[in-house]
Amino acid sequence: EADIYQTPRYLVIGTGKKITLECSQTMGHDKMYWYQQDPGMELHLIHYSYGVNSTEKGDLSSESTVSRIRTEHFPLTLESARPSHTSQYLCASSEFSLGADNQPQHFGDGTRLSIL
Protein backbone atom coordinates (compact mmCIF):
# COMPACT_ATOMS: atom_id res chain seq x y z
CA GLU A 1 0.00 0.00 0.00
CA ALA A 2 1.25 3.46 -0.89
CA ASP A 3 1.58 6.01 1.89
CA ILE A 4 -0.53 8.85 0.62
CA TYR A 5 -3.34 10.25 2.69
CA GLN A 6 -6.28 12.47 1.91
CA THR A 7 -8.55 14.24 4.37
CA PRO A 8 -11.42 14.54 4.74
CA ARG A 9 -12.71 11.39 3.03
CA TYR A 10 -16.19 12.88 2.73
CA LEU A 11 -17.34 16.50 2.94
CA VAL A 12 -20.82 17.94 2.59
CA ILE A 13 -20.85 21.71 2.75
CA GLY A 14 -22.90 24.69 1.66
CA THR A 15 -22.41 26.96 -1.33
CA GLY A 16 -19.97 29.82 -0.88
CA LYS A 17 -17.77 28.18 1.75
CA LYS A 18 -14.00 28.04 1.45
CA ILE A 19 -12.70 24.47 1.32
CA THR A 20 -9.25 22.98 1.59
CA LEU A 21 -8.67 19.35 0.70
CA GLU A 22 -5.55 17.94 2.27
CA CYS A 23 -3.10 15.53 0.67
CA SER A 24 0.07 14.24 2.29
CA GLN A 25 2.57 11.59 1.27
CA THR A 26 5.38 10.06 3.29
CA MET A 27 7.36 8.59 0.39
CA GLY A 28 9.42 11.67 -0.37
CA HIS A 29 8.01 11.86 -3.89
CA ASP A 30 8.75 15.02 -5.82
CA LYS A 31 5.81 14.88 -8.20
CA MET A 32 2.25 15.26 -6.99
CA TYR A 33 -1.08 15.46 -8.81
CA TRP A 34 -4.74 16.28 -8.30
CA TYR A 35 -7.42 14.57 -10.36
CA GLN A 36 -11.16 15.11 -10.49
CA GLN A 37 -13.31 12.05 -11.01
CA ASP A 38 -17.07 11.72 -11.12
CA PRO A 39 -18.07 8.35 -9.57
CA GLY A 40 -17.15 5.45 -11.82
CA MET A 41 -15.96 7.77 -14.54
CA GLU A 42 -12.68 8.81 -16.12
CA LEU A 43 -10.02 10.89 -14.35
CA HIS A 44 -9.26 14.48 -15.28
CA LEU A 45 -5.96 16.06 -14.27
CA ILE A 46 -6.56 19.49 -12.70
CA HIS A 47 -3.20 20.35 -11.07
CA TYR A 48 0.29 18.94 -10.74
CA SER A 49 3.60 19.82 -9.17
CA TYR A 50 7.21 18.87 -9.90
CA GLY A 51 8.37 19.80 -6.41
CA VAL A 52 8.42 22.54 -3.80
CA ASN A 53 7.19 25.90 -5.14
CA SER A 54 6.17 24.30 -8.44
CA THR A 55 2.51 24.16 -9.51
CA GLU A 56 1.01 23.64 -12.96
CA LYS A 57 -2.52 23.54 -14.30
CA GLY A 58 -3.77 20.29 -15.76
CA ASP A 59 -5.97 19.47 -18.69
CA LEU A 60 -9.30 20.24 -17.06
CA SER A 61 -9.92 23.85 -16.17
CA SER A 62 -10.63 24.19 -12.47
CA GLU A 63 -11.48 27.06 -10.17
CA SER A 64 -9.41 25.43 -7.47
CA THR A 65 -5.87 26.43 -6.53
CA VAL A 66 -2.98 24.46 -5.10
CA SER A 67 0.22 25.14 -3.23
CA ARG A 68 3.42 23.17 -2.63
CA ILE A 69 5.33 24.65 0.28
CA ARG A 70 6.58 21.29 1.56
CA THR A 71 7.50 18.19 -0.40
CA GLU A 72 5.04 15.99 1.44
CA HIS A 73 2.03 18.29 1.34
CA PHE A 74 -0.11 19.36 -1.65
CA PRO A 75 -3.38 20.96 -0.53
CA LEU A 76 -6.17 21.98 -2.90
CA THR A 77 -8.34 24.99 -2.12
CA LEU A 78 -11.71 26.18 -3.39
CA GLU A 79 -12.28 29.79 -2.33
CA SER A 80 -16.05 29.68 -2.84
CA ALA A 81 -17.62 26.29 -3.31
CA ARG A 82 -20.44 25.79 -5.82
CA PRO A 83 -22.66 22.78 -6.62
CA SER A 84 -20.70 22.31 -9.87
CA HIS A 85 -17.66 21.44 -7.72
CA THR A 86 -19.40 18.31 -6.46
CA SER A 87 -17.14 15.42 -7.39
CA GLN A 88 -14.44 13.08 -6.12
CA TYR A 89 -10.94 14.51 -5.86
CA LEU A 90 -7.97 12.13 -6.01
CA CYS A 91 -4.42 13.02 -5.06
CA ALA A 92 -1.43 11.09 -6.38
CA SER A 93 2.36 11.17 -6.21
CA SER A 94 5.27 9.65 -8.07
CA GLU A 95 9.03 9.45 -7.82
CA PHE A 96 11.23 11.79 -9.77
CA SER A 97 12.75 10.04 -12.75
CA LEU A 98 15.78 11.20 -14.71
CA GLY A 99 15.02 11.29 -18.40
CA ALA A 100 11.75 9.78 -19.50
CA ASP A 101 9.32 9.26 -16.65
CA ASN A 102 8.35 5.61 -16.27
CA GLN A 103 7.32 5.73 -12.64
CA PRO A 104 3.78 4.77 -11.64
CA GLN A 105 1.60 7.17 -9.72
CA HIS A 106 0.41 6.22 -6.25
CA PHE A 107 -3.06 7.37 -5.28
CA GLY A 108 -4.82 8.35 -2.10
CA ASP A 109 -8.35 7.14 -1.40
CA GLY A 110 -9.89 10.43 -2.43
CA THR A 111 -12.21 13.06 -1.00
CA ARG A 112 -15.83 12.87 -2.03
CA LEU A 113 -17.09 16.45 -2.04
CA SER A 114 -20.76 17.45 -2.11
CA ILE A 115 -21.72 21.10 -2.34
CA LEU A 116 -25.33 21.85 -1.42
Partner 1 sequence: AQSVAQPEDQVNVAEGNPLTVKCTYSVSGNPYLFWYVQYPNRGLQFLLKYITGDNLVKGSYGFEAEFNKSQTSFHLKKPSALVSDSALYFCAVRGYFNTDKLIFGTGTRLQVFP
Distance of alpha carbon 92 from alpha carbon 102, whole angstroms: 15
Q: How far is the CB of 26 from partner 1 (least distance, A)?
A: 15
CA distances (Å), origin 59, targets 8, 16, 44, 85, 90 = 25, 25, 7, 16, 15
Q: Cβ closer to partner 1: 14 or 100?
A: 100
Residues that bind partner 1 (CB under 8 A): 2, 4, 6, 40-43, 45, 48, 56, 58-59, 90, 92, 97, 100-102, 104-110, 112
Rounded CA separation 9/14 (Å) = 17
Shorter beta-carbon distance to partner 1: residue 14 or 40: 40
User: C-beta of 43: minimal distance to partner 1 in Å?
Assistant: 5
Measured from the CB atom, the residue of 6 and 64 that comes closer to partner 1 is 6
